[in-house]
Amino acid sequence: MYPETTNKKRVLIADDDDHVRRSLEYALCEEGFDASGAASGQEALDTLRTEPFDLLLIDDSLFDMRLEDVLRTVRSFEIQPVIVVLQAVPRLGAAARFAALGASDAVGRWNSRRDIIESIRHCLASCELEIAHA
């Protein structure tokens, strides 16, 4: 038998904090997303090389790689997910820096899960609109 096809949006959560990553993964699955986790920047890149994802939710302070290096590599992939940066601490000018790196949005780790999920939904909907009008 073939696996069932699904219209669920696939989200990869790259965060080295197990608790944050797993709670976001659970919350996204509860909201109808197909969510997976990566515990490091390298694991996220390895996963994105082999599996298509609609969105990458990435911690801005991974222990193994700089955010800039991860996003630059992701931008070189043929299939590029929408990117939302999960900020550990608010920083002046961070949103502009993340946008310059190709991120569609930045949300604070301190925000509610509901706010984070709404940001993800908004970014995915905006991407679909851009594709529809291209």
Average pLDDT, the chain: 91
Strand partners, 2: none
User: Looking at residue 81, which CATH number applies to its domain?
Assistant: 3.40.50.2300
- Would residue 21 count as lying in a domain? yes
Please provide residue 115's backbone torsions phi and psi, each rounded to the nearest 5 degrees.
-65, -40
- Would residue 4 count as lying in a domain? no
67-74 helix and 41-50 helix, angle to the nearest 10 degrees = 10
CB neighbourhood size of 118 (10 A): 14
Q: What is the pLDDT of residues 33-49, one digit of tens each?
A: 999 999 999 999 999 99
Confidence of residue 2 (pLDDT cuts 50, 70, 90): very low
d(CA 39, CA 102): 21
Domains: count for the chain: 1
Closest to 89 (Cα-Cα) out of 111, 109, 112, 67: 109
Q: What is the pLDDT of residues 58-104, one digit of tens each?
A: 999 999 999 999 999 999 999 999 999 999 888 888 889 999 999 99
pTM, two decimal places: 0.91
For residue 73, give its domain range: 10-132
